[in-house]
Amino acid sequence: MPTDPLEHLAQQLEHLEQQGLRRRAAEPPEAGALSFCSNDYLGLGCRPAPVAASGAGASRLIAGERVEHRRLERAFATWLGVEDALAFTSGYAANVGTLSGVAGAGDLIVSDALNHASLIDGARLSRARVVVAPHGDVDAVARALAERSEARAWVVVESYFSMDADGPDLVALRRTCDAHGAGLYVDEAHALGVLGPQGRGRCAEAGVVPDVLVGTLGKSFGSQGAFAAGRTVLRDWLWNRARSFVFSTGLAPVCAAAAVRSLHLVIEQPDLYVSVRARSARLRAGLVAAGAVVGSTLGGATSPQGASDEVPRLLGFGHIVPVVLGTPARALWWAERLRALAVQVLAIRPPTVPAGGARIRLTVTAQHSDEDVDRAIEAFASVLRTERGEAGS
């Protein structure tokens, strides 16, 4: 009989180490280094916090309701053109609570194969039957809906997938959902603030109104927390039945106040997201010129598993720039070499991405200048030259 109940964890950690999959805290950037791994896309997270209470003190259903909460919810609902919203303490809590709240046993969830872990876990907790559709495959979604026996169904996607920097055909998905009597659930976590008209996301860009829209406050809005937005009946239901909301202390008022302030800045200072878009395009063009090959994972056009060990493969569009390298060891090697050149990125490895799809992931923010982007491009080119030189020696 084992005497140490945690002994197996040490063994499993060693197994992860051997596979190049063990995670550790990243070293902080050295002085003068450029970080290209932050999700603070508009650079608003570096601003001092507004004056507000540091904590809510209780669940909002008990004694934690604060004026900052409703200001936040109404401000984002108005900006997005929906009836109302409900604030959660994190994006993970928002997706787990919302998806398991709107779907239940006897329902169907059709989930994109590359959906975030929070959506996967929310679907599992709902006890609905889950069909995993190939990434970006609208026809597969339609087949799953047409063949179902369940009365209610939900189609769940992200608008901008943070590891592949691509997004689904939202117009086609909305049409498919309407044709089959299904709800459309869209997580806009990585799009809001940067993509779409006035930074209002890819749903606004497509003219699509999802039944549930989830956004986060810890990325473009430089705070912490998240929200689920849509019709008033959705908010009322989640207030009563979203377990990650009901049984959690309310979002800290200071975080709510910071997010509202950031939203006002996004509205008043469009140069924030315009600069991110321009420098993202500059980075992509420079990486291609340096030797990356452009590909796409959407709809299976080019699979990460097929990424060449010889040529880094550049995916997607927008302010997230994934460079697929193949193996965890190669991704770690690239991250270390770039760090040595004062460009901080992280190696993204399974299970965050599929086996064979390990990559480095660069993110462009409003704090980057054209010169910063050019430094990153030159560092990329230098590492590629080094790799090819070592391979040929």
C-alpha 69/C-alpha 357 separation (Å) is 40
347-364 pLDDT, tens digit per residue, is 999 999 999 999 999 999
Question: Is the CB of residue 319 less than 8 Å from the CB of residue 282?
Answer: no
Tell me which of 84, 158, 166, 372 is the catalytic residue: 158
Give CA–CA dist 322/324, Å, rounded: 6
- Per-residue model confidence as pLDDT tens digits over 17-44: 998 889 888 777 677 789 999 999 999 9
Assess whether 95 carries a catalytic annotation: no
Active-site residue among 84, 112, 115, 116?
116
pLDDT of residue 157: 98
How far apart are alpha carbons 301 and 243 in whole angstroms?
39
Q: Are 73 and 262 in contact (CB under 8 A)?
A: no
Specify whether 158 is catalytic. Answer: yes
Domains of the chain listed by start with CATH number: 48-268 (3.40.640.10), 271-392 (3.90.1150.10)
Active-site residue (options: 187, 188, 372, 387): 187
Active site residue 219: yes
Query: Is there a catalytic annotation at residue 39?
Result: yes
Full-model pTM = 0.93
Out of 162, 220, 223, 280, the active site residue is 162
pLDDT band at 3 (very low <50, low <70, confident <90, very high): confident
* More confident position, 79 or 393: 79
- Confidence category of residue 306, pLDDT binned at 50, 70, 90: very low
More confident residue, 4 or 75: 75
The pairing of strands 313-315 and 153-158 is unpaired
Q: pLDDT value at position 300?
A: 40
Q: Is 240 a catalytic site residue? A: no
Taking the alpha carbons at both ends of the chain, their separation in whole angstroms is 52
CA distance 325 to 313: 7
40 catalytic per annotation: no
Whether 229 has a pLDDT exceeding 50, the answer reads yes
